[in-house]
Amino acid sequence: MTSTLTKSADDGGSRSMGDAFDEAFEGEFGELRFADDPAPLTVLAGHPGPEAPPAVRRAVRKWSRNELLPLLGSLVSALSTTMLLFGRFTSMEGVIGFLAVFFLVFLLTYAVVVSLTENRPAVYDRVMTVLMASAAVVALCALFSVIVYVFIRGVKALVHTNFYVDDLSSTGPLDPLTKGGISHAIVGTLIMTLISLVITVPLGIACSVYLNETRSRLTSLVRTVVTAMTALPSILAGLFIFATWVLILGFERSGLAASIAISIMTLPIMIRSADVVLRLVPGNLREASAALGAPQWRTVWHVVLPTARSGLTTSVILGIARGVGETAPVLLTAGFTSSMNLNPNEGPMVSLPLTAYMLVRSGQPEQMARGFGTAAVLMVLVLILFSIARVLGGRPAGQLSKRQARGTVARSSRDLQRIEARRLAAASSDVTVAPIALSAGAPPYSSKESS
């Protein structure tokens, strides 16, 4: 009796838990029922009988035909209407004008079509969904048009090998594209990036460790000032270095000066993102390390920094990507040259964005093509840096990839072997220590504690 009741109640309740559970339940309780048991006395209203077909889960996220057809229909209708009307009733012109009119007509058509079958909240919902999607589409189209345009305009220069291996020292503005290249700018960018990496990475990571691991009045001051300096317009970093390094200290404009300006600009950005990454390191890892008796510097070095490694790498790379593309501080501090200069200490040195800016400004068709080609090379560099950052930094602190997890397991089993070997060595000299036995009842340290 009770078993029947339980079962009928469970029929409704456990439906969502899946068929496997239901079957298991049936198998266990079906035996308890007596053979001559009458039909169940209580039938709960609304519960389907056992022969009812299993409920099919509704696909909430999938597009149904009722949603798709009005959308396609309105798109086609709006396109035809716009092509018919454009230029007659509207005073707009050009591609952007056409797209704007098309979009408005489409929204209107779609709203009307949907309102034929749906109520008002549903119409609002559909129209707003379309608006949100089109915002994303606009953003992506803009991004793609920026990237594609730079490559299309630069391709004339990019196809020549000399563009990558020569500099512009013996190339006039009217020379064909088969002469001259931007190797000096590529090398200049690499040198400047390297120097600013050497400055910012140790300083930035040490400072973010300081912000996270210590607590004093100075800490909050440093954090506030760093936050403030992320607002520093990049041109001011250049102006500062120009005024101090060049005008007051009397050094010439050089790659080193530009690197320092870039470092001043990227340092706060890097510290802020590294600060966030370190804050996400789980506290129990720190506590576990402290509980094992590690001093704080060992905790930082062996626990905190390795845990946050991927996030830290990402913040460094994104900071550098920002610095690589920065033109304004380099414009004021690096000077301009068209020949190769490997020495960051003396003589002007150029970077890719500065070269692109200068070449395009000259206005000659060949120089313009070189300028766009330079921008395309810069874009490739940024894309590479960005992809590396994505690959390394996909996961939050403490979550390991499969390879890292395997490595951790291997390390810890090596540790276990080492500890065991040491125990065995100790056991051979000292008989009172119980031999390690993981499956035995008493833990190995009990003998010491009881004594």
Partner 1 sequence: MAGVTMEAFGAGGAVETTSVDHVATGEPAPPRRLVVRKGRGDRIFFGGASFSGAFVLAIMVAVGVFLAIQASQALKSSGFSFLTTSVWQPDRGEFGIAAIMLGTVLIALVAVAIALPISMGTALFITEVAPKWLRSWLIALVDLMAAVPSVVYGLWGAYLLQGKIVGLSRWINAWFGWIPFLDVARADPNSPLSSESVYTASTFIAGVVVAMMVMPIQCVVMREVFSQVPLGEREGAYALGSTRWGMIRVVALPFGRGGIIGGTMLGLGRALGETIAVVMIISPRFDLNFHVLEAGSNSVSSHIALLTFESSGFGLSALMAAGLALFAVTLVVNFTASWFVARSRSGASSEA
Q: Report how far residue 143's alpha carbon sits from residue 139's, in angstroms, rounded to the nearest whole number.
A: 6
Considering only residues 306 to 325 of the shown chain, the ones binding partner 1 according to CB under 8 A are: 318, 321-322, 324-325
Q: Does 217 bind partner 1 (CB under 8 A)?
A: no
Q: Report how far residue 63's alpha carbon sits from residue 418's, in angstroms, rounded to the nearest whole number.
A: 59
Q: Does 431 bind partner 1 (CB under 8 A)?
A: no
Number of residues this chain uses to bind partner 1 (CB under 8 A): 106
Q: How many CB atoms lie within 10 A of CB 345?
A: 11
**Pattern 196-215, partner 1, x by CB under 8 A:** ------xx--xx-xxx-xx-
Q: Report how far residue 142's alpha carbon sits from residue 190's, in angstroms, rounded to the nearest whole number.
A: 29
Q: Render 294-357 in DSSP notation, one character per residue.
A: --HHHHIIIIIHHHTHHHHHHHHHHHHHHHHT--HHHHHHS---SS----TTSS----HHHHHH
Candidates 24-32, 293-301, 341-349, 402-410: pick the segment binding partner 1 (CB under 8 A): 293-301
Q: Does 242 bind partner 1 (CB under 8 A)?
A: yes
Smallest gap from residue 132 Cβ to partner 1 (A): 4
Q: How many residues does the chain have?
A: 451
Considering only residues 92 to 121 of the shown chain, the ones binding partner 1 according to CB under 8 A are: 92-97, 100, 121
CB-based burial label for 434 (10 Å; 0-12, 13-18, 19+) = middle
| Residue among 229, 225, 256, 257 at smallest CA distance from 243 | 257
For partner 1, the closer CB: 229 or 436: 229
Q: Does 229 bind partner 1 (CB under 8 A)?
A: yes
Considering only residues 378 to 417 of the shown chain, the ones binding partner 1 according to CB under 8 A are: 378-379, 382-383, 385-386, 390
For partner 1, the closer CB: 33 or 390: 390
Considering only residues 179 to 198 of the shown chain, the ones binding partner 1 according to CB under 8 A are: none
Q: Does 143 bind partner 1 (CB under 8 A)?
A: yes
Q: How many CB atoms lie within 10 A of CB 294?
A: 16
For residues 324 and 195, the answer to whether their CB atoms sit within 8 Å is no
Q: Does 435 bind partner 1 (CB under 8 A)?
A: no
Considering only residues 257 to 286 of the shown chain, the ones binding partner 1 according to CB under 8 A are: 264, 267-268, 271-272, 276
For residues 348 and 246, the answer to whether their CB atoms sit within 8 Å is no
Helix, strand or coil, per DSSP, at residue 93: coil
Using CB under 8 A, pick the residue from 77, 81, 134, 162 that binds partner 1: 134
Considering only residues 46 to 85 of the shown chain, the ones binding partner 1 according to CB under 8 A are: 61
For partner 1, the closer CB: 78 or 376: 376
Q: Does 434 bind partner 1 (CB under 8 A)?
A: no
For partner 1, the closer CB: 11 or 273: 273
Residue with tokens 């065991």: 420
